[in-house]
Structure 1
Amino acid sequence: MNPAIDEESLHPSSLDRLDRRILAALQANGRISNQELAAQVHLSPAQANRRHKRLEAMGYIRGYEARLDADRLGLGVTAFVHVTMERGQHKEVQKFQRTVGKMAQVLECHAVTGDFDYVCKVVARDLKGLSDFLLGTLAQQPGVNGVRSSVCLNELKSTSALPLD
């Protein structure tokens, strides 16, 4: 831990109203200039920049990225894939976690409770591409006992913005 940042300052309750407004502005537009950010949150540019850098240093901001349009890029199929692992295969589970993190088709993968061990959000060009990936790649990973998928028919909401209130 950075010695300049104490444990108490890392607690979310240490965020004041201005910090939350800065985070909200950055979630809405990660490319906002410091001048625009300062005007939007009613701070001087120096104060806005100082707070912004502090929020980055404290780990509240994990990074910046462009959100691309999957359909425009020819990735017309999105599916949620439920993966079940064989029990008692600790080494295989660790290998699966490392391997799935490198698979470009897997946008998200979460270890979950319930009937499955993982839920992954996967994209593919078409249903054949999804099938090839699921049966030829994902299901073939050591330790994978089963793979079930649900294909998305229509995206109703997609955001990475977190609620800040």
Structure 2
Amino acid sequence: MELDRLDRDIIAALVDDARATYAEVGQVVGLSASAVKRRVDRLRASGAITGFSARVSPEALGWTTEAYVELFCQGKTKPADIALAVAKFPEVVGAATITGEADALLHIRATDVRHVERVIERIAAEAFVVRTKSAIVLSRLVDAPSGVLRNETRLIG
């Protein structure tokens, strides 16, 4: 599905506040509430909008430390095997295969550095993991909501 400027503006408004009413979104994008509803229904039906959720501060849940961990795997470890293994860890909040020397990059959130260390030790014990390389996040410089590009409406169209 191709998104026009109004679709992108509606998505941006909903990313900012998924609880906004159709009338409130309409005020932002210049449409009536019923027109916004029709577009949101179409966006949902097409899969462009996959759902609505609450964004919760990790700090509110006690997850004040985060790290990125590169996984170096033996042989030709399948991405599905990596995904299955790391999905067991609630501390792994993101995982991706990547280019470069490492096979995968994990994003970990934990209560403190010791907690990060324990998680890395458990992940490193997986049979396919040869070694890990980690970096602790000191401060977040940009933290855009997932699912939308920052300033997307200014960059596209």
Interval of TM-score (by shorter of Structure 1 and Structure 2): 0.7 to 0.9
Greater mean deviation of Cα atoms: 124-133 or 55-64: 55-64
Partners of 1:89 and 1:75 lie apart in 2 by 30
Q: Does 1:30 align with 2:15?
A: no
CA RMSD of aligned residues (A): 1.5
Partner of 1:146: 131
Structure 1 stretches (4+) deviating beyond 4 angstroms?
Answer: none
Are the equivalent residues in 2 in contact too, given 1:76–1:126 (CA < 8 A)? yes
Stretch of structure 1 that moved more, 149-158 or 37-46: 37-46
Q: Which structure 2 segments of 5+ residues have no match? A: none
Q: 1:144 Cα shift?
A: 1.0
- The AA in structure 2 aligned to 1:47 is A
Task: Tell me, in whole angstroms, the C-alpha distance in 2 between the residues paired with 1:151 and 1:128.
Answer: 11
For normalisation by structure 1, the TM-score amounts to 0.83
The Cα offsets for residues 50-95 of structure 1, whole Å up to 9 and x where unpaired, read as: 10111111111122222222223221210011001101344xx533
Larger CA deviation: 98-107 vs 49-58: 98-107
How far apart, CA to CA, are the structure 2 residues paired with 1:50 and 1:96?
40
**Which blocks of at least 5 consecutive residues in structure 1 are unaligned?**
1-9
Instruction: State the match for 1:115 in structure 2.
Output: 101
Does residue 111 of structure 2 align to residue 132 of structure 1?
A: no
Q: Identity of counterpart residues, as a percentage?
A: 29
Matched, 1:44 2:20: no
Distance 1:45 1:102 in 2: 42
Q: How many residues align?
A: 150
Q: Which amino acid aligns with 2:91?
A: Q
Q: Which residue of 1 aligns with 2:89?
A: 103
Q: Using structure 2 for the length normalisation, give the TM-score.
A: 0.87
SS of 2:59 mapped into structure 1: coil
